[in-house]
Structure 1
Amino acid sequence: MLFNYEIGLKEFNPENMKINHREAVRAVIIRDNKLLMVHSNKGDYKFPGGGINSGESYEEALKREVREETGYIINNIKARIGTIISRNIDEYEENAVFEMISNYYLCEVSEGQTHQQLDDYEANLEFCPKWMTLGEVIHLNEEILKQDNIDKNPWVYRENLALKALSSILNCKGNQ
């Protein structure tokens, strides 16, 4: 694996708090020196992907999430390249921690694109696939993170952490 991070709550007593666990997959798709990202109406960018449904394999979840959010079809899952575990106080349950384990996979997609099949919350956020350079995405997400007075999507910090890890690994400076 190229990166492995833990973010959010570091110290909590698991004996006194329930842990609500969710596992997710995120696709890192690079073509012609550009990443396939999902743009939201809040201005941020995220990797295509999401939660794994009960009984679904990682591969099935990756293919479903990328197709739904971008309209592209994964034709090759190369390798898992990183993991980010985030823990926060659960918004929906008292005395609980929400733990999300995001697994990042290097993938390839077919040339053609079908239509998106967005969930309601994704449609409300106006998810839109965009091909961007690594440097562009990092810069735009960092601009979002600098702003204190706006409503940010909870994934922006996590995704920028993964983007920066990719940048240092690929030795990219964002001017490709």
Structure 2
Amino acid sequence: MRLLKQTQHPDIINNTAETLLRNAARAIVLRGNDILLMYTHRYDDYSLPGGGVNQGESIIDALKRELHEETGAQQIEVMSEFGAYFELRPWNKAPFELVQMNSYCFVCNIADELHTPQFEQHEINNGMRPVWINIHCAIKHNLHTLATSEKKGISIERETFLLQTIVAELIKK
């Protein structure tokens, strides 16, 4: 899969510290200019549905599981690879100080109807919900959150970059 971007969080001083490797699968589901995203109230941002790959699980299986759990998507069909985003960022959960987060993004199709999501407790606590939104509106919202919010999450830069890349490459002008 092609590498879209590789970043290192600006707070990292020692990039040789004990590092956790975490792979994640993220879904791109488009309907014209609308995209299926996760809105997180706690951070006031939009992100691609997806999450961590469990030990022994393939990236595709993780993608389908996460997309189903977070959005209630049914009849998930992986159409193509889109690209990867690698980031080194603070972790601070013993014994690790850093996490190397490798996000693998795929273009998917799903059935029209979404069923009830199956959120984990932290997702409920953060006020996550799936939404169909115009991709340009989601980017504008995330850029505003980046510029003005003190509660923004660490992943908003990744998510905004991915949304902008999706527009540049997948949205018909």
* 1:51 counterpart residue number: 52
CA distance in 2: counterparts of 1:89 and 1:45, whole angstroms: 21
Q: Secondary structure at the match of 1:90?
A: strand
Please say if 1:158 is aligned against 2:158.
yes
CA distance in 1: counterparts of 2:9 and 2:154, whole angstroms: 14
* 2:63 counterpart residue number: 62
Identity, in percent, stands at 27
CA deviations 1:30-56 (Å, max 9, x no partner) are: 013310001111321000000001111
Query: For residues 80-119 of structure 1, what are the structure 2 equivalents within 5 Å?
Result: 80-93=81-94, 96-119=97-120
- One-letter amino acid matched to 1:20: L
TM-fit CA distance, 1:9 = 4.2
CA distance in 2: counterparts of 1:147 and 1:129, whole angstroms: 23
CA distance in 2: counterparts of 1:131 and 1:32, whole angstroms: 11
Does the C-alpha gap of structure 1 residues 95 and 127 become closer, same or farther in structure 2, counting only changes over 3 Å?
closer
* 1:123 counterpart residue number: 124
TM-fit CA distance, 1:96 = 3.2
* 1:143 counterpart residue number: 144
- One-letter amino acid matched to 2:167: S
CA distance in 2: counterparts of 1:20 and 1:120, whole angstroms: 23
Does the C-alpha gap of structure 1 residues 44 and 54 become closer, same or farther in structure 2, counting only changes over 3 Å?
same
Structure 1 residues not aligned, in runs of 5+: none
CA distance in 2: counterparts of 1:172 and 1:143, whole angstroms: 24
TM-fit CA distance, 1:21 = 0.4
CA distance in 2: counterparts of 1:164 and 1:2, whole angstroms: 16
* 2:5 counterpart residue number: 5
CA distance in 2: counterparts of 1:53 and 1:135, whole angstroms: 32
TM-score, normalised by the number of residues in structure 2: 0.88
CA distance in 1: counterparts of 2:73 and 2:171, whole angstroms: 27
Structure 2 residues not aligned, in runs of 5+: none
Q: Secondary structure at the match of 1:113?
A: coil
Higher mean displacement: 101-110 or 71-80? 71-80
Give the 4+ runs in structure 1 shifted more than 3 A.
9-14, 93-96, 170-173
Does the C-alpha gap of structure 1 residues 19 and 124 become closer, same or farther in structure 2, counting only changes over 3 Å?
same
TM-score, normalised by the number of residues in structure 1: 0.87
CA distance in 1: counterparts of 2:145 and 2:93, whole angstroms: 26
